[in-house]
């Protein structure tokens, strides 16, 4: 099928490259000329494992352009995957979505095009985009005869760092539209994934246990709510284990054992029960906030979602308090933070716990250093006021430190030779913010090992 993807952020790029890999004819429209040039040269503007490999495997079916006129005409499906940053009141800023929809409508010419909202948008945005498309289309003097279109929602469940895996081997595909014809088109588009008929990329073999992928085909509002409800549930699952983790510390229980013990109950499930400093990134914070904002428009409170957010920000405070309890005085102390990205295998710094913790420590007079195996350059660009605190090497981070915190559990940190660094520290305090290190081993090496919870 002929596909156009507007926006080459995480979601747009993964969607476009994956669909081209599956054999569809894909044009990605991106307004940033630099990004287009990078992508044309086969380089990926974001750090995402496997993306450059897939780009090269899919290149015969894939084009990048700044021009809507090269992508939208003739397309069976147009994905709109532009950014929707949070505005001051917590609701997403839809200005880019509006502008993309207006421009798409100026170029529609096909007998039937499905315009898919791929960005995470508030419930009701499908109808809003539909109205914008129709207004903009009606204003065209060159309006083609017999051109029809409909809006659908097709939420994305990919995790950064696992984007290609989650797209090619998803747990489910959700499509929502109030127009049955759009559901048919999307069903056809995703057939190779639903039936798993494509040849798996060499670098990402098909998991043994994957069968046919369930397709949830529903109305527009339900698809939109599924996205928010899924993210909020995952966020509250993590906050729940972190809340129990603090209690575990007080009663002398081991939270990793508790998490294992409850996660083996299949009704609870073991995934997303990893205790630690908590969640960050571009999705959970923003989506839980947006859900609360949407509910607010209906005068409806969401105390469970609100509590998940509160517990999550408390975890960041607790990290600082654990250090204060141990060091007594934070002023003048050198504290090293290992990991800046909000999680491993990404260079994304949005809502990263490390940045918040660094700011809290600086505000209390500590001297902070940060290290990240991948996100350092991006950190310097995006956080200029913290940039001088970046340590280029791990040795440099440990050197003369009063305490080191493992904030992001990069494999490089988990696998490094920790015996090399303990002697560099002024006091060998190690706060494991992710319950990712072996406490006994660290203690044997001479660290004073502390976990974020019990
Ligand atoms: C999340 C969802 O997992 C995706 O399904 C969804 O598509 C995406 O948001 C989105 O809406 O675009 P992502 O934010 O990329 O994906 O990252 P996750 O792997 O979900 O991790 C989120 C945060 O939770 C990270 O900070 C991670 O460190 C933390 N986490 C995760 C835990 O603290 N404990 C866990 O057990 C799992």
| Reported confidence tier of residue 11, pLDDT bands at 50, 70, 90 | very high
Packing angle, helices 303-327 and 353-363, rounded to 10? 50
Q: What does the mean pLDDT of the chain come to?
A: 96
pLDDT digits (tens, 9 = 90+) for 180-231: 999 999 999 999 999 999 999 999 999 999 999 999 999 999 999 999 999 9
CA torsion angle for 159, 160, 162, 163 (degrees, to 10)? Answer: 80
Average pLDDT over residues 250-256: 95
CA distance 110 to 394: 56
**Nearest atom in ligand 1 to 155's CA:** 7
Residue 228 near residue 123 (C-beta atoms within 8 A): yes
Residues forming a β-bridge with 93? none
Average pLDDT over residues 232-250: 97
Q: What does the DSSP assignment read for 131-142?
A: HHHHHHHHT-TT
Backbone angles phi, psi at 329, to 5 degrees: -120, 130
Question: How many whole angstroms from 282 Cα to the centroid of ligand 1?
Answer: 9
Question: How many whole angstroms from 237 Cα to the centroid of ligand 1?
Answer: 11
By alpha-carbon position, which residue is closest to atom 19 of ligand 1? 159
Longest pairwise C-alpha distance within the chain: 77
Average pLDDT over residues 34-54: 95
Backbone angles phi, psi at 421, to 5 degrees: -100, -25
Composition of the chain by helix, strand, coil, percent to 5: 45, 15, 40
Burial of 154 (0-12, 13-18, 19+ CB in 10 A): buried
Residue 90 has pLDDT above 90, yes or no: no
**Nearest atom in ligand 1 to 156's CA:** 7
By alpha-carbon position, which residue is closest to atom 29 of ligand 1? 279
CA distance 166 to 14: 10
How far, rounded to the nearest angstrom, does the alpha carbon of residue 426 sit from its chain's CA centroid? 36
Tokens of 61: 């079916």
CA distance 24 to 305: 39
Average pLDDT over residues 252-256: 95
Residue 263 near residue 201 (C-beta atoms within 8 A): no
Active site residue ranges = 283
Enclosing H/E stretch for 128: helix 125-138
The CA distances from residue 348 to 16, 83, 206, 280, 366, in Å, are: 20, 14, 27, 10, 25
Question: How many whole angstroms from 441 Cα to the centroid of ligand 1?
Answer: 28
CA distance 60 to 385: 43
Question: How many whole angstroms from 110 Cα to the centroid of ligand 1?
Answer: 38
Residue 394 has pLDDT above 80, yes or no: yes
**Nearest atom in ligand 1 to 163's CA:** 15
**Nearest atom in ligand 1 to 234's CA:** 3
**Nearest atom in ligand 1 to 281's CA:** 14
Range with lowest mean pLDDT among 118-127, 160-169, 320-329, 357-366: 118-127
* Contact residues of ligand 1, CB 6 A cut-off: 120, 156-160, 231, 234, 238, 272-274, 276, 278-281, 283-284, 342-343
Pocket test for ligand 1, best of 233, 281, 372, 413 (most atoms within 8 A of CB): 281
pLDDT digits (tens, 9 = 90+) for 412-440: 999 999 999 999 999 999 999 999 999 99
| Reported confidence tier of residue 5, pLDDT bands at 50, 70, 90 | very high
CA distance 444 to 447: 7
Tokens of 14: 């993964």
Burial of 71 (0-12, 13-18, 19+ CB in 10 A): buried
The CA distances from residue 52 to 43, 55, 145, in Å, are: 6, 5, 41
By alpha-carbon position, which residue is closest to atom 16 of ligand 1? 159
Better-scored residue on pLDDT, 89 or 370: 370
Question: How many whole angstroms from 347 Cα to the centroid of ligand 1?
Answer: 14
Enclosing H/E stretch for 11: helix 10-21
Range with lowest mean pLDDT among 72-76, 99-103, 122-126, 128-132: 122-126
pLDDT digits (tens, 9 = 90+) for 317-333: 999 999 999 999 999 99
By alpha-carbon position, which residue is closest to atom 5 of ligand 1? 157
* Alpha-carbon radius of gyration of the chain: 24
Tokens of 285: 């914070």
pLDDT at 121: 84
pLDDT at 448: 98
By alpha-carbon position, which residue is closest to atom 30 of ligand 1? 279
Q: What is the SS3 assignment for 4?
A: strand
Residue 387 near residue 380 (C-beta atoms within 8 A): yes
pLDDT at 153: 96
pLDDT at 450: 97
Question: How many whole angstroms from 157 Cα to the centroid of ligand 1?
Answer: 10
pTM to 2 decimals?
Answer: 0.94
Q: Return the DSSP state at 46.
A: S
Residue 85 has pLDDT above 90, yes or no: no
Average pLDDT over residues 80-97: 88
The CA distances from residue 95 to 82, 100, 246, 287, 436, in Å, are: 10, 9, 41, 17, 41
Cβ–Cβ contacts within 10 Å for residue 126, how many? 25
Tokens of 392: 């280029």
pLDDT at 89: 81
Average pLDDT over residues 98-113: 97
């Amino acid at each position: 099928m002929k596909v156009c993807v507007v926006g080459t952020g995480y979601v747009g790029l993964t969607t476009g490259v994956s669909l081209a890999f599956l054999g569809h004819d894909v044009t990605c429209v991106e307004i940033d000329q630099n990004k287009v040039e990078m992508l044309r040269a086969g380089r990926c503007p974001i750090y995402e494992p496997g993306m450059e490999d897939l780009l090269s495997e899919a290149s015969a079916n894939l084009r990048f352009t700044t021009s809507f006129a090269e992508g939208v005409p003739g397309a069976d499906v147009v994905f709109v995957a532009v950014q929707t940053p949070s505005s001051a009141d917590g609701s997403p800023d839809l200005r880019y979505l509006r502008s993309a929809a207006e421009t798409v409508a100026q170029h529609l010419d096909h007998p039937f095009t499905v315009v898919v909202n791929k960005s995470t948008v508030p419930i009701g945005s499908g109808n809003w985009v539909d109205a914008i498309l129709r207004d903009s289309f009606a204003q065209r003097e060159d309006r083609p005869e017999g051109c029809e279109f409909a809006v659908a929602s097709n939420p994305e469940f990919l995790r950064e760092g696992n984007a290609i895996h989650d797209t090619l081997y998803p747990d489910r595909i959700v499509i929502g539209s109030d127009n049955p014809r759009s559901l048919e088109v999307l069903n056809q588009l995703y057939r190779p994934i639903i039936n798993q008929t494509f040849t798996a990329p060499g670098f990402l073999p098909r998991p043994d246990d994957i069968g046919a992928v369930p397709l949830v085909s529903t109305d527009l509002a339900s698809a939109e709510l599924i996205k928010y409800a899924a993210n909020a549930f995952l966020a509250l699952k993590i906050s729940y284990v972190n809340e129990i983790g603090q209690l575990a510390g007080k009663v002398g229980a081991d939270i990793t054992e508790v998490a294992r013990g409850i996660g083996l109950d299949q009704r609870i499930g073991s995934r997303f029960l990893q205790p630690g400093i908590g969640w960050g990134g571009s999705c959970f914070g923003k989506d839980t906030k947006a859900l609360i904002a949407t509910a607010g428009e209906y005068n409806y409170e969401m105390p469970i979602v609100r509590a998940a957010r509160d517990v999550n920000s408390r975890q960041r405070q607790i990290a600082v308090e654990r250090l204060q309890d141990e060091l007594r005085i934070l002023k003048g102390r050198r504290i090293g933070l290992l990991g800046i990205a909000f999680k491993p295998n990404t260079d994304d710094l949005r809502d990263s716990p490390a940045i918040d913790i660094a700011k809290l420590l600086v505000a209390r007079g500590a001297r902070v250093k940060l290290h990240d195996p991948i996100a350092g350059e991006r950190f310097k660009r995006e956080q200029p006021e913290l940039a001088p605190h970046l340590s280029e090497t791990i040795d440099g981070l440990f050197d003369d430190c009063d305490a080191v915190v493992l904030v992001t559990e990069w494999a490089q940190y988990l696998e490094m030779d920790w015996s090399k660094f303990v002697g560099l520290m002024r006091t060998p305090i190690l706060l494991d913010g992710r319950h990712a290190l072996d406490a006994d081993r660290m203690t044997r090496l001479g660290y004073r090992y502390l976990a974020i919870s019990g």
